[in-house]
Every structure is written in structure tokens, then in C-alpha cells.
Chains A and B, each alone.
Chain A
Amino acid sequence: MTPELGYGMTLVALGLAVYGGVAAGVGARTGRLALIESAQHAALGVFALVTSCFVLLTYAFLTFDFSVRYVATNTNLGTPFYYRITGVWGALEGSIILWAWMLSVYTIILIARHRLGARELYPWALATMLCILAFFLLVMTVAVPPFQRQTPVPADGRGLNPLLEDTGMITHPVALYLGFTGFTVPFAFAMAALITGRIGDTWLVLTRRWTIVAWYFLSLGLLIGGWWSYHVLGWGGYWAWDPVENAAFMPWLTGTAFLHSVMIQERRRMLRLWNISLVILTFGLTLFGTFLTRSGVIASVHAFSQGSIGILFLSFLALVLLTALGLVAWRWDALRSEGELDAVVSRESVFLLNNVMLVAAAFTVFFGTVFPLLSEAVRGVKVSVGAPFFNQVNIPLFLSLVFLMGVGPLIAWRRASLDNLKRNFLWPVALGIVAAAAAFALGVRSLLAALTFATTVFVAVTIAVDFTRATRARLRMGESLLPAMGGLLLRHNRRYGGFVVHLGILIIALGVMGSHAWSVQTETTLHRGEAAELAGYRFRFDGLSAVEESNHFKVVGAFTVSNGRPLGVLRPAKKFYPQEQAPIAYVDYRLGLREDLYVVLGDFASDGSQATIKLQVNRLVSWIWIGGVVLTLGALLAILPERHKGA
């Protein structure tokens, strides 16, 4: 019954979405409000149906309903309760349901927020959203139906991919998809602006907070993905330039560029064409990412299984790009800027430079990701592009971007005078140089590390300079210190939210730099009772034990760690799942602000007399996660409704 019910609801939802998209479009064109209202009702219906599908699938997972093929392939009787829920979106079919559901939620929020406010743009935005939603429902109907009947009903299922049995898996896909789907809304408004010819700033103002929300969730998704990679995959890193990581990173880069270029358009009426293009590019890249992960075109550790879905996605990507760019061509004359760049040394040009670098970074990542395909198409040779390429090209770009992050917010609009530069940047530059000298004195010999450190300090000081100056101005007005600072944050929440996000990025940059420059590792085989040393830590091998879990069997090693004084016992393990050929490593670690201890169990003698282990002391990695928390706070501050100025 469940498969048919679910499939039926998907079909009805698809019909409603198509109807709603057409009704909203026709309503917008003819000005018939009744049609637009009808489209809104259809959107509500779609939301209700997709929600029901999602609930139904979750219920099938919880009750081990193996008559549903998707349930049988992704869970088994041993799967713990918690992972039966995350299993719902653990594979291809479920991820599309989650995606469609989030889109329907965003559509409802769009209706609630903009129904009354933006009469001209809103109906077209709604139509765009519903069309995109219809596409995902089409995928759910024809390409990867989550509700497919399994006959005969197996006695037990295959089980979830063990790597996904992790708490990060509840939040990582959710955050990532909220980010991906979130960019649909700015795209929808951009399309509305192009269709109606109202290319002014209205669509930007309307989508400003949407963009921040989407950007934030995408950042969060990337960070949680990094955390998952770090503590689950057991190679000691958090980012591998894997095609699928790149797929999520590219829209992040162009989305970041968009967040910044918007400010120039608002302030100086410049870059209209650029902004529209960035939105199209960002949304296109989210689709490209989905395509890449699900089409099986490029090999990756994260890839879902493949099928006809790839062709469907590629066709949709083609439709979206050709339509959007066609609209751009149609509105070409209107898109040209009113303002002009006055001087090279100005905030506009710094922002422009930031945009060019972000897009260049996105392009290199794109190029590196599709290069294997290009090489095979042109030369017939299989190649792979690894981390060295990406690092070599991107590290200088990112370092420059961090530098610009200090310059941009403080330099004057239009034309910066020497006086303006001196007033704002004398201290930051001086302290940055001092920081580099201090790092050198402390024994840092890596140029890159010293440079990163100096740049970070420079940027942090610019933020401090700005904040102190603004607080002082308020103190002169007679406010006392704390209310002055708090009031500043709330009154100018967008500006200071941005600053806090910048601080978060700085902290992440330090973490990345530290982990690259100073982490150490070793691999060794120990007999029981023997100890290995690394970076002042002693790891003593105390023995192995075997444990039977509900859906797997695991061998756990015990390693006593000390650095002069005892620090505790680390218990890395190897898990053996019946449905997997290779055992899965279970890393044990001890996080610290300065360094993490990280132990991976390799081969072992079956009598427990010896074991091979990989030991790592990873420096400053925790700061990446701390930076993520700071970034969250900043994004929250920036999203708060803007207070009215004055008073």
C-alpha cells in the first residue's frame, strides 16, 4: 500500500506544481489576481503532499517496510533507530525528496513574505519556484522514485552505507541542501526582474536576506561536511578537493561574490549585469553540483548511484541556462550600468577585485573538477586532478581575498584619499608587520604561514579599528560603553554581522594554515605493551577487544596516551559490516585548542598481540570549527531585521 500511496501523492504534487507554475505565469502576464491566488493554493497543496511523502517514507523506514525498494536498499533490521531516520535521505531517492521538500518550504515562505509586498515581481518569482519544484517532482516520478514496490519483499534489507552512520549525517545534508535550495529564491526573483524588465534594485533588496540565509546554510553544510570527513573518514583531513566537495564549494564562491557585489549596486547603481549573471551562475552551479553527484559522470567518494537521472538533470540545466541567458540577452540594454568607476583606489574597485578573485577561484575549481572529463574527451586519456593543483592556484587567491577583506569595508567609496588610507590602515598594517616579525621570532620559518598570520592580524585590526571608532563616536554622544557597543551591533547589524562573519573566516583561515603547516603524523606497528612517540606524546598499545553491535562487529584497540602525565585512553576501532567488503575505520581522537590527537587502527594480528596504527597530531584544527560558530553568530546578526536608523 505504502509504495502506491507515496507514488500517487508524488504524481498529484507534480500536477499541482505544473498547474501552479503555469497559473502564476499566466496570472502575472494578464494581471488576473484570481489565477495567482489559485497558484498559491496549488503551492500549499504541493507543500502538504511533499510533506506527507516525506513523513510516509520516514514511517516506512521506522517500521522496516521492505516492500518499499528504497527502504530495503538502505536499511536493515539491525539499523539503529536514529540512523533509520537519517537513512531517509541517505541515498539518491531520499535526497531528492528532501530537496523537493525544502523547495516547497521555501516556496511557502516566499508566499508568506512577499505576497503583499512585491506585486510586480512576486507572481513571476512564484512561477519560477513552482517550475523548479515541478522539475524535482518529475525526477521523483520518473527517474528515481523513492516509492517503488519491491517484490518479492526481502526478509531483511541491505543496510545503510556505514560511513553515513554518524551524527554529522543528520545535519550535513540538511544544511547543505538548505543552502543549495536557498539560492533558488534569489534566482527566482532575478528571473522575475528580467521577465518584467524591472531590473532596478527592487529584486536585490527583496532577496538580500534570502541570499544571506542560503549562503550561511551552504557555509554550515561545508563546515559540517569537513567535520564529518575529519572524524569519520580517518585520513586526518577535512577537505580533499573531491569533485563533490568542489560541487558545493563553487556556488559558495560565486554566492560570496554576489553577497558583496550587491552592495555596490545598492550604493552606486553599478554592476547590474554582473549581479544578474552571478545569481544565474550560482543557481546553475547548485544544479551542476546536483548533476555531478548524481549522474555518475565523475568518480567521487561521495557519489550516489547513477541512472537516467543524469540526463534529466543535464537537460534541466541546459533549459535553465539557455532561458536565463536568453533573458539576459533580451534585456541587454536595460542591464547596462548607470554609475561608473571613479578611481582605482576606492571601495568599488576593491569589491570588484574581490569579485573577480572569487569568480576566478570558482573557475579554477570548476576547471579542475571537469578536467578529467575534458582530457578524456579531447585526448582520450584518463587523468585525475589532485589537491596540489587546487592548492597551488587557490591559496594565493584566498590569501589575497583575506587581505581584501580587511581593505574593503574601511576604504572610502568613489575615491580614497591618502588621508583616508592613513587613518584607516596605518595601525593594521603596522600590527600586521609586527605579527609577521613575532611569528618569525617564535621560530615560524614557513613563508606562507607567516604571511597568513600577518594578513589575519591585519584584517582583525581593521575590524577592531572600525568598531572602536564607532563606539567612541557613540560615547561622545553620552552613551555608556556596553549599551554603545550593543546598540552599534543591533543598529548596523548588517555591517557588523558581516564583520563577525569575517572574524569567523579569519579564525578558519588560521586553523587551515596551522593544520597544513604544523601537523605531524607517523605510522607504526606495535606489540602489546609497546609504545610509540609523536610530538611529545606517548601512545601505549594495551590490547584489542571484540564487540558485537546490532548491525556490525567491531575490533577495538586500547591506547593509553601520556605526555609526562597520563591523558587517557583512546579507542580506535575497525568495524566489519556484513554488507561491506572492506572494514570501516572508526577514528578516536582527543580535540584540543592547540592540537588534536588522532589515532586510526590499521591492520592487526587476530590474536591481539600486535597492531598497526596511524598517529597524527593535528595542529589548530579545532579553530576551524570555532570559526564556524563565530560565522554562525555573524550570519544570525546580519539576518536580523534591520532597525530604523536615527534616534
Chain B
Amino acid sequence: MKRIWRWLIPLAAVPVLALLAYGFRVSPRDIPSPLVGRPAPAFALDTLDGAPWSLEAHRGKVVVVNFWASWCYPACYEEAPVLERNWRGYRDRGVVVMGVDIQDKREAAQKFVGDLGLTFPVAQDPKGTVSVDYGVYGVPETFFVDRRGRIRMKHVGAVTDEVFRATVDGLLAEPASP
């Protein structure tokens, strides 16, 4: 008997290992945002091209508000092409991508937009009020706003094609009004 049970010793390590493995399934960075489910804070900014842009004017569309900065290397550099690609793919279906550049120099932002060939609207948040309203903790962070103007999802870190598509497809499938 004794010979058998001692082989159970290594099993003692298993629960701890399993718990740590579980850790991969959750991210401590997913700080639950109190804004999810609430109306998205309204804002109006001038884009880098000088055109006025406001969230109010896009009610009825799915709006993806992305907070970024040119100094946010490499995550913002990785996600910009993803945003651009999906913006092109979804723009005709009532989806808007809005890039809010925070704590940045204007020239650096323009260079970023030019280098990466971004065509979706991008505006600077010169006083930081928009990022404060949205509780932005770091860049990049992306908020998905549904057609009724409520924040439905907050994504921390670079957005991937999968996240963008899954979220936006889900929001597009919902009715525009209750």
C-alpha cells in the first residue's frame, strides 16, 4: 500500500498548476469599466483635417472610439492597420471608426496618420477631457458604442481583427431602436 500512495505526492502540485493555468484565461487588465452599458459620454472635436466631428452626429451607427498616441509603440502601431482595414470593410454598413489621439504633438500625430495611411477620422484631444470622460487608463483602449449610443464593450490593448469583427457584427445584428 505504502508504495502506492507515495506516488500521489507529485499530484500535490497539480491544483496550484491548474489555478495558474486558469490565469491565462482571464486578464487582470480587464478592469471592469463602469461605463459599459451606460450612454457613451458625448464629445465633439476637430479632426486633424480641420473638420468638426461629434459623437451625437453618428447616433444610429456603431461607433468604435479608439484612444491612441504616436508614442504608444508598438501596440498602437500594430492595431492601426487593423482599424483601417475594418473601417474600410464596414463603413458602408453603418460603422464609424474614430481615433482620439491623446497627449501628443500635432506633427507627430500627422506623421503617424500619414505613415500608416489612415483614412478614418482622427482628432486630437488637446485638453484631455474626452479621455477623462471615458476613464482611459492607458493607450490603446477602444470603446464600442452601439447604435443607441451606449458603450457596450471596452477593449484594452491592441484591437485584433477577431475582436473587432465579433464585437461589431454583434452590435450590427441588434435593432437600431428599442
Residues of A within 8 A of B (CB): 69, 72-73, 154, 157-158, 288, 291, 295-299, 310-311, 314, 317-318, 321-322, 325-326, 328-329, 332, 370, 372-374, 376-377, 382, 578-579, 581
Contacts and interface: CB of A to CB of B under 8 A. Distances in A.
A295 B71 contact: no
A373 B9 contact: no
B52 interface: no
Contacts of A579: 71, 73
B127 interface: no
A158 B23 CA distance: 29
B73 to A, nearest CB: 4
Given A322-B13, A329-B6, A297 B103 contact: no
Given A317-B17, A321-B10, A581-B138, A310 B26 contact: no
Contacts of A326: 7, 9-10
Contact of B32 (A154, A311, A382): A382
Contacts of B12: 325
Nearest to A376: B26
Contacts of A291: 20
A329 B23 contact: no
A299 B24 contact: no
B21 interface: yes
Contacts of B10: 321-322, 325-326, 329
A581 B76 CA distance: 14
Contacts, number: 78
B74 interface: yes
B23 A73 contact: no
A154 B77 CA distance: 12
Interface in B11-59: 12-13, 16-17, 19-24, 26-29, 32
A73 B26 contact: no
B60 to A, nearest CB: 33
B19 A298 contact: no
B103 A373 contact: no
Chain B interface extent, by class: 20 to 34
B74 A73 contact: yes
B139 A321 contact: no
Contacts of B23: 295, 297-298, 310, 373
B81 to A, nearest CB: 14
Given A325-B13, A328-B9, A329-B7, A295 B19 contact: no
Contact of A298 (B8, B13, B28, B138): B28
Given A321-B17, A329-B9, 7 more contacts: A154-B73, A288-B20, A310-B24, A314-B20, A321-B13, A332-B9, A579-B73
User: Which of A311, A332, A374 has the largest count of B CB atoms less than 10 A from its CB?
Assistant: A332
Contacts of A295: 20, 23-24
B24 A73 contact: no
Contact of B20 (A297, A325, A332): A297
B103 to A, nearest CB: 5
B101 to A, nearest CB: 12
A87 to B, nearest CB: 15
B6 A332 contact: yes
Contacts of B8: 329
Nearest to A374: B19
B71 A158 contact: yes
B19 A370 contact: yes
Contacts of B105: 578
B168 interface: no
A325 B9 CA distance: 6
Nearest to B102: A581
Contacts of B27: 296
A377 B19 contact: yes
Contacts of A311: 24
A384 B8 CA distance: 33
A73 B73 contact: yes
A447 B107 CA distance: 62
A329 B2 CA distance: 11
A157 B74 CA distance: 10
Contacts of A581: 69, 102-103, 138-139
Contact of A314 (B17, B26, B73, B138): B17
Nearest to A384: B28
Nearest to A291: B20
A162 to B, nearest CB: 12
A395 B84 CA distance: 55
6 A-B pairs with least C-beta separation: A297-B23, A299-B28, A325-B10, A321-B13, A579-B71, A158-B73
Nearest to B105: A578
15 contacts: A72-B73, A291-B20, A295-B23, A299-B29, A317-B17, A321-B13, A321-B17, A322-B10, A329-B7, A372-B28, A373-B19, A376-B26, A377-B19, A578-B71, A581-B103
A254 B97 CA distance: 53
Nearest to A576: B103
Contacts of A321: 10, 13, 17
B21 A314 contact: yes
A104 to B, nearest CB: 27
Interface string B130-160: 0000000011000000000000000000000
